[in-house]
């Protein structure tokens, strides 16, 4: 079998992916090619001759992506806050909008020495580990209730530690548990959460509707079940002046401020949009006095 130029393979892959409704066919084809070839996407050279075995591997991955399996589940990797984490089909693949929640959180504790940070609903641990990477002086706690997510987060935490980052602590816990991390009550400087927030029954793209764990995506009948628990949990854990950022769905930007207000514990609440100008997360601060 003769080697095939990379560009030819990429063109075929792009067509297959576009036909199956993948929204970024060229980018996905390049990511999969880079993964197969062990290269960075930016260094892919169109005329590079690709041996038959690698071309076959790429076609097989493209076929799976055309079946709408999430890209991260195929490459086994995702990037957030300048670090790579490992992901698998049992955990949520960190998304680009979460970069903004992370950046807001880091800026909120910029002037706090040795901040205590809690990442609720941590999944792969990406948010917590990105905080730990940016702030080696922070004490970072990551919480999830799902065993597969916890195994993934612990694996990623061990890998970051081997790369020299300060260790984080991964906890098994339910944000609805009023005793969760009770030892941190009133001591936390920053709570970050990207909880499941999609209302049950919502039709989603197959990447999320079929190929992500339901516990990572759906937040009860109105989508707010876990968000409500996050609000209560943060009200209990944060010190006066402590910061909270919650990622949520588009329509929830009008609802989450009301949930925060109802506790009587927060002020300075603001809604934020993501890189595509969609309403995506809400931030607030724990009042000095309840
Ligand atoms: C949308 S994923 C977010 C993962 C990660 N924070 C990220 O941005 O990539 C939501 C995560 O919340 C976890 N989860 C769902 N309900 C929970 C609960 N009641 N308590 C703790 N974790 C929960 C799921 O297991 C899943 O890992």
Residue 113's CB is within 10 A of a number of other CB atoms, namely 8
Region label for 278, one of left (φ > 0), alpha (ψ between -120 and 50) or beta (otherwise): beta
Q: How far apart are CA 26 and CA 10, in angstroms?
A: 7
Reported as a single tens digit per residue, the pLDDT across 33-92 is: 999 999 998 899 989 999 999 999 999 999 999 999 999 999 999 999 999 999 999 999
What is the topology classification, in CATH, of domain 90-286? Rossmann fold (3.40.50)
Nearest-CA residue for ligand 1 atom 12 is 121
What is the number of the ligand 1 atom nearest to the C-alpha of 247?
8
Reported as a single tens digit per residue, the pLDDT across 177-206 is: 999 999 999 999 999 999 999 999 999 999
pLDDT at residue 188, as a whole number: 98
pLDDT at residue 2, as a whole number: 79
- How far, in Å, is the centroid of ligand 1 from the Cα of 1? 46
Reported as a single tens digit per residue, the pLDDT across 250-268 is: 999 999 999 999 999 999 9
Q: Would you say 262 and 209 are in contact if contact means Cβ atoms under 8 Å apart? A: no
Reported as a single tens digit per residue, the pLDDT across 143-178 is: 999 999 999 999 999 999 999 999 999 999 999 999
- Find the radius of gyration of the CA atoms of the chain: 20
Residue 184's CB is within 10 A of a number of other CB atoms, namely 17
Residue 41's CB is within 10 A of a number of other CB atoms, namely 12
Residue 52's CB is within 10 A of a number of other CB atoms, namely 11
Nearest-CA residue for ligand 1 atom 18 is 174
The H or E element that residue 83 is part of is strand 83-86
pLDDT at residue 215, as a whole number: 97
Q: How far apart are CA 259 and CA 227, in angstroms?
A: 9
Q: How far apart are CA 144 and CA 152, in angstroms?
A: 11
Q: Would you say 208 and 202 are in contact if contact means Cβ atoms under 8 Å apart? A: no
Residue 170's CB is within 10 A of a number of other CB atoms, namely 26
For residue 245, the cross-strand partners are 192, 283
- How far, in Å, is the centroid of ligand 1 from the Cα of 122? 5
Q: How far apart are CA 170 and CA 121, in angstroms?
A: 11
Reported as a single tens digit per residue, the pLDDT across 228-245 is: 999 999 999 999 999 999
Q: How confident is the model at residue 289 (pLDDT cuts 50, 70, 90)?
A: low
Which DSSP letter does residue 242 get?
Answer: E
Q: How far apart are CA 249 and CA 240, in angstroms?
A: 27
Pocket of ligand 1 (CB under 6 A): 92, 94, 98, 121-124, 126-127, 143-146, 149, 174-176, 194-196, 215-216, 226, 229
Nearest-CA residue for ligand 1 atom 20 is 174
**In the predicted structure, residue 278 carries a pLDDT above the cut 60:** yes
């Amino acid at each position: 079998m003769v080697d095939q130029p990379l560009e030819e393979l990429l063109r075929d892959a792009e067509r297959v992916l576009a036909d199956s409704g993948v929204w970024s066919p060229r980018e996905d084809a390049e990511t999969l090619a880079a993964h197969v070839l062990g290269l960075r996407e930016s260094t892919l050279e169109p005329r590079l001759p690709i041996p038959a075995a690698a071309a076959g591997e790429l076609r097989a991955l493209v076929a799976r992506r055309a079946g709408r399996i999430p890209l991260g589940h195929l490459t086994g990797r995702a990037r957030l806050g300048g670090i790579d984490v490992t992901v698998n089909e049992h955990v949520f693949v960190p998304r680009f909008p979460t970069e903004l929640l992370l950046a807001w959180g880091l800026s909120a504790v910029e002037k706090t020495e040795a901040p205590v940070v809690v990442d609720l609903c941590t999944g792969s641990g990406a948010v917590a580990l990105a905080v730990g990477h940016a702030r080696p002086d922070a004490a970072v706690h990551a919480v999830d209730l799902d065993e597969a997510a916890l195994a993934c987060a612990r694996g990623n935490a061990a890998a970051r530690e081997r790369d020299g980052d300060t260790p984080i602590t991964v906890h098994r816990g339910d944000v609805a548990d009023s005793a969760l991390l009770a030892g941190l009550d009133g001591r936390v400087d920053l709570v970050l959460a990207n909880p499941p927030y999609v209302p049950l029954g919502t039709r989603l793209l197959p990447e999320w509707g079929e190929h992500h764990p339901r516990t990572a995506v759906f937040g009860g009948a109105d989508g707010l079940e876990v968000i409500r628990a996050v609000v209560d949990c943060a009200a209990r854990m944060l010190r006066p002046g402590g910061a909270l950022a919650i990622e949520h769905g588009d329509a929830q930007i009008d609802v989450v401020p009301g949930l925060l207000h109802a506790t009587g514990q927060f002020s300075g609440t603001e809604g934020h949009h993501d890189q595509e100008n969609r309403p995506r997360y809400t931030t607030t601060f724990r009042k000095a006095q309840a």
